[in-house]
Amino acid sequence: MRCRRGLDRTIRISVPQVGSGGKHVYWLLPSHTGPSDVSEVDQILDASGLTCPLPLLKAKQALNKLETGAVLEILCTDSSSVRDFRVFSEQSGHPLLKSEEEEGHYTYWLKKA
């Protein structure tokens, strides 16, 4: 398990999954609290096959329709989305609860601020 403290006072934990062929799960957590509960997803957005900037644009549109505190799960295949969603979260104030990559498929959980 590797941990890194970022400038924004968050902790990024990369956990390789045993027997998963290289799958890693990334948790982005406030440094002063425990793991966020992302078991409850309010809406799922499938942006698979779309390229930059469409996954982020579709996510922004979906977030605009959600209530404050709702969790949006985004599924996509664009590798540049990793940076896009991290930066979007930092700039917009919508917390990125979880980021996961498995064999070219990316999943993000954003909580509407």
Active site residue 52: yes
- Rounded to whole angstroms, the Cα distance separating 7 from 98 reads 18
Q: Quick one: which of 21, 3, 23 has its CA closest to 13?
A: 3
Which residue out of 50, 52, 75, 82 is catalytically annotated?
52
Provide the H-helix boundaries in the chain. Answer: 54-65, 81-92
Beta strand 24-30 pairing with 96-102:
antiparallel
- Rounded to whole angstroms, the Cα distance separating 64 from 57 reads 11
Hey, is 65 helix, strand or coil? helix
The catalytic residue positions are 52
